Amino acid sequence: MQELTHYLNGAHVKGSSGRFADVMNPATGEVQAKVPLASGEELDKAVEYAQAAQPAWAATNPQRRARVLMKFVDLLNRDMDKLAEALSREHGKTLPDAAGDVQRGLEVVEYCIGAPQLLKGEYTDSAGPGIDMYSMRQPLGVTAGITPFNFPAMIPMWMFAPAIACGNAFILKPSERDPSVPLMLAELLEEAGLPKGILQVVNGDKEAVDAILHHDVIQSIGFVGSTPIAEYIYATGCANGKRVQCFGGAKNHMIIMPDADMDQAADALVGAGYGAAGERCMAISVAVPVGDETADRLIEKLVPRIENLKIGPYTAGNDVDYGPVVTAAAKANIERLVQTGIDQGAELVVDGRNFKLQGYEDGYFVGAHLFDRATKDMDIYKQEIFGPVLTCVRAQSYEEALGLAMDHEYGNGTAIFTRDGDAARDFANRINIGMVGINVPIPVPLAYHTFGGWKKSVFGDLNQHGPDAFKFYTRTKTVTARWPSGIKEGGEFSIPVME
């Protein structure tokens, strides 16, 4: 049985708490490793190392910090296959999807190589007689991130790359379900030249999370996960005086207008709804066709595509469409919600309840499901299922479809499929959701824009990656400097004003 470690001050360190969690192989249901769950004392030690290392790193000029990230990008490309395989083994997603997980994180690292430009302040010459003013962005100090199981490479890099580029040290608490890739990333960063102690990986559960939330030295916290935990982390972190950004749940609607290319829309829905077994916060989980004729045509296109999906372990080849969900508990929750959909009157058009994969009966595979004629009062509509379940809610007009997405408590992502530019522009302008796709099913912005939802999908006022990341991981200091040309006698007791 492999025993994983923490990564502290440049070394793999065995856990000392005596508590461990099982790391499962979701394809087989077997335990493949044990990961230590840190105590508060272990978290304190990681912070101690980070605090000692951070001042020298902050004093390193941004160009030299960027060079470390340049080398890190080279190493990520070198080890892409190795990282993807480790990710698939613990998470269950297919190898191409796992490589995409790494690639999307790598692209944020590439953006952060521009830190010398992004960290430039502002300057005003002669703001007053002999007075100049300038601002500078300075690092926060020791920062932290708590990341989810569904993107064990991408989301850690979304957090630690800009934090490190800005001159901070970073404590990463990854998901205990798939912790190997974060440990590998820490190794690669130090191979790239990152000083020891700047990136620490502390594995753990709620005890480690609470230690982060209450630690006086930690200045900021990033989180991605469920909305209830996001609310808890945001409230607790803010109450302790930290800068906090938390990203929570989602229920992403895709509106299909009568003029849409129905083959394109069906292909987009299948990929966005069932890719990664639906375990994406940007997955499309609700299809909203406008008009019964549109809905009937859409369902007709969807059914054969869904029924022909290839489900299997990542080892079965790159033509596998999706693999298992991450845990037995996740599988049970999906199956429970499917049953509530049936009980509450939705029409189960594609029934994946009896799916079994020969040779992998103990794995966490879930068949593909398609519901039609669901309504907004049903649990399958209101709750985030996080599984391979697509729910069709029919709307009789564009305004009704728009209202469904706008009235839902979550506001992460949405999409509209149409040939009508006016409808697309109206949708983009009016919708109260943070990321919008127009004939794009998963509108995740590229690294140089920012990622973030609205409503109960986000807590905090700055998004992830892009320019917002450099604002989140720095403080602005403004300096007013006066260099008088001669000596003046006496003091001035009135507030200075412009003359």
pLDDT of residue 59: 98
Contact 310, 319 (CB under 8 A): yes
3-class SS of residue 381? helix
Pick 2-248+457-480's CATH classification: 3.30.56.10, 3.40.605.10, 3.40.50.2300, 3.40.50.620: 3.40.605.10
Instruction: Give dist(CA 90, CA 280) in Å, integer.
Output: 16
Contact 225, 235 (CB under 8 A): no
> Whose structure tokens read 């302040």?
121
112 in catalytic set: no
Q: Where are the domains of the chain?
A: 2-248+457-480, 252-438
pLDDT of residue 491: 67
Instruction: Give dist(CA 326, CA 312) in Å, integer.
Output: 13
> Whose structure tokens read 């003359």?
499
Give the predicted TM-score (pTM) of the model: 0.94
Pick 252-438's CATH classification: 3.40.640.10, 3.60.21.10, 3.40.309.10, 3.40.50.10800: 3.40.309.10
pLDDT of residue 497: 75
pLDDT of residue 315: 96
Q: Is residue 99 classed exposed, middle or buried when 0-12, 13-18 and 19+ CB atoms within 10 A define those classes?
A: buried
Q: Which of 112, 166, 281, 392 is catalytic?
A: 281
> Whose structure tokens read 């002669």?
126
Q: pLDDT by residue for the chain (499 residues), tens digit each?
A: 899 999 999 999 999 999 999 999 999 999 999 999 999 999 999 999 999 999 999 999 999 999 999 999 999 999 999 999 999 999 999 999 999 999 999 999 999 999 999 999 999 998 888 899 999 999 999 999 999 999 999 999 999 999 999 999 999 999 999 999 999 999 999 999 999 999 999 999 999 999 999 999 999 999 999 999 999 999 999 999 999 999 999 999 999 999 999 999 999 999 999 999 999 999 999 999 999 999 999 999 999 999 999 999 999 999 999 999 999 999 999 999 999 999 999 999 999 999 999 999 999 999 999 999 999 999 999 999 999 999 999 999 999 999 999 999 999 999 999 999 999 999 999 999 999 999 999 999 999 999 999 999 999 999 999 999 999 999 999 999 998 776 556 667 777 776 6
- DSSP one-letter string for 147-213: --SS-TTHHHHHHHHHHHHTT-EEEEE--TTS-HHHHHHHHHHHHTTPPTTSEEE---SHHHHHHHH
pLDDT of residue 128: 85
Any bridge partners for residue 58, and if so which? none
pLDDT of residue 489: 62
Contact 149, 175 (CB under 8 A): yes
